[in-house]
Amino acid sequence: MKHFVSMKDKSETEIIQLVKRANGISQRGVEPLNGQFFAANLFFEPSTRTKMSFVVAERRLGMEVLDFMTDQSSVTKGESIYDTAKTYESIGANLIVLRHHQENIAKQLAESLSIPVINAGDGTGEHPTQCLLDLVTIYQDFQHFHGLKVVIAGDIKHSRVARSNAIALSTLGCDVYLTGMKEWQDDRLPFPYIAMDDAVEIADVFMLLRIQHERHLDQFSLTECNYLDNYGLTLEREARMQKHAIILHPAPVNRGVEIDSRLVECQRSRIFKQMKNGVAARIAIITSLLNQGGNYNDENFNQCQAIIG
Ligand code: CP
């Protein structure tokens, strides 16, 4: 694995290896890398969870974190994303973490740079590191993927989380279902749409999505369409879920919109556990990339392997 930009190019074996590595790290921690490594976190869009969990992951690995703020960078002088990334590569960054509004940009950069590129969210394209932490969270409850019924619910059309997860869950042998407003259905994902009221009853994993207001061309009134009652997870719907079923949401959560606020921290919610797993998932990705990219100390990787299991 030279880059981590999409779940489309990942085999079942590759995904399982990363899930197990991340799960091991979440239980046993990880040793810092030997030597000096620099990580460039290029966030052109706002982020709390993804950005900060990358910073924690990088610092746990002993990496130097090269911060970047668009409004204080040469982006304000018109520098392109390519030249910005190339600059970080030239001054010694060992990997680039990129969040950007342009779909497919991480893949394009990966083809042009000699250091690993990690996609931390590209427009409505993909969010593969979020996907990995979601998979780790599912694995911790079920210890397998084959045959699990996973429902992805909400703003499918504008969600990069939905895309990465639907692809990866299908690769892993899950039965993927989608549910949500007709206007937000996405023909690019070849999975069946079912009614919300059926979805809550069949799901082993119920994955809610944030409404992506910032990507909507038309303004949308939540009150007019009574979103929670018609399309969200209400207390009444949660009561009809299977006993063992779990709730995921990538967050930030629109409380009282996608989900009743009282369910955000309920017994079957894994929302904050997902965030916790985000650090281990990102450590697993970084260590994999640095090892196989040729600039990771092999002896230290073996130490990590021993710890990871
Ligand atoms: N889940 C997610 O990507 O959150 P942030 O936008 O806060 O990084």
Task: Report CA-CA distances (Å) from 220 to 183, 212, 261.
Answer: 11, 11, 21
Tell me, what's the pLDDT at 249? Answer: 98
Higher pLDDT, 213 or 240: 240
Contact 128 CB / ligand 1 (< 6 Å)? no
Q: CA 248, 217, 68, 116 torsion: positive or negative?
A: positive
**Residue 192: partners with Cβ closer than 8 Å, 6 or more residues away:** 177, 178
**Residue 221: partners with Cβ closer than 8 Å, 6 or more residues away:** none
pTM for the structure as a whole:
0.93
Contact 130 CB / ligand 1 (< 6 Å)? yes
For residue range 100-154, list pLDDT tens digits in order.
999 999 999 999 999 999 999 999 999 999 999 999 999 999 999 999 999 999 9
For residue range 258-282, list pLDDT tens digits in order.
999 999 999 999 999 999 999 999 9
Number of neighbours of residue 77 by Cβ within 10 angstroms: 6
Site to probe by mutation for ligand 1, drawn from 41, 129, 130 as the one with most ligand atoms within 8 Å of Cβ, is 130
- pLDDT-derived band at 220 (thresholds 50, 70, 90) equals low
Predicted confidence (pLDDT) at residue 308 exceeds the cutoff of 80: no
Atom 4, ligand 1: which residue's CA is nearest?
49
- pLDDT-derived band at 291 (thresholds 50, 70, 90) equals confident
Buried/exposed 117-156: b ≥16 CB within 10 Å, e otherwise: bbbbbbbbbbbbbbbbbbbbbbbbebeebeebbbbbbbbb
Predicted confidence (pLDDT) at residue 67 exceeds the cutoff of 90: no
d(CA 214, CA 278): 23
Edge-to-edge order in the sheet of strand 64-66: 64-66, 38-43, 95-100, 117-122
Site to probe by mutation for ligand 1, drawn from 43, 47, 133 as the one with most ligand atoms within 8 Å of Cβ, is 47
Predicted confidence (pLDDT) at residue 156 exceeds the cutoff of 80: yes
Contact 20 CB / ligand 1 (< 6 Å)? no
Residue 121 Cα: closest atom of ligand 1 = 3
Domains of the chain: 12-126+277-289 (3.40.50.1370), 128-273 (3.40.50.1370)
Contact 291 CB / ligand 1 (< 6 Å)? no
DSSP string of 236-289, one letter each residue: HHHHTS-TT-EEE--S---BTTTB-GGGTTSTTB-HHHHHHHHHHHHHHHHHHH
Q: Give the gyration radius of the chain's Cα atoms.
A: 19
Atom 3, ligand 1: which residue's CA is nearest?
50
Nearest to 138 by CA among 205, 238, 50: 205
Mean pLDDT over residues 195-199, rounded?
97
Mean pLDDT over residues 221-227, rounded?
77
> What is the distance in A from the centroid of ligand 1 to the CA of 290?
24
Contact 38, 87 (CB under 8 A): no
Predicted confidence (pLDDT) at residue 306 exceeds the cutoff of 80: no
The percent of residues in the chain predicted with pLDDT above 90, rounded, is 86
Quickly tell me which residue has 């230290």 as its tokens: 300
The span from the first CA to the last CA of the chain, in angstroms, equals: 19
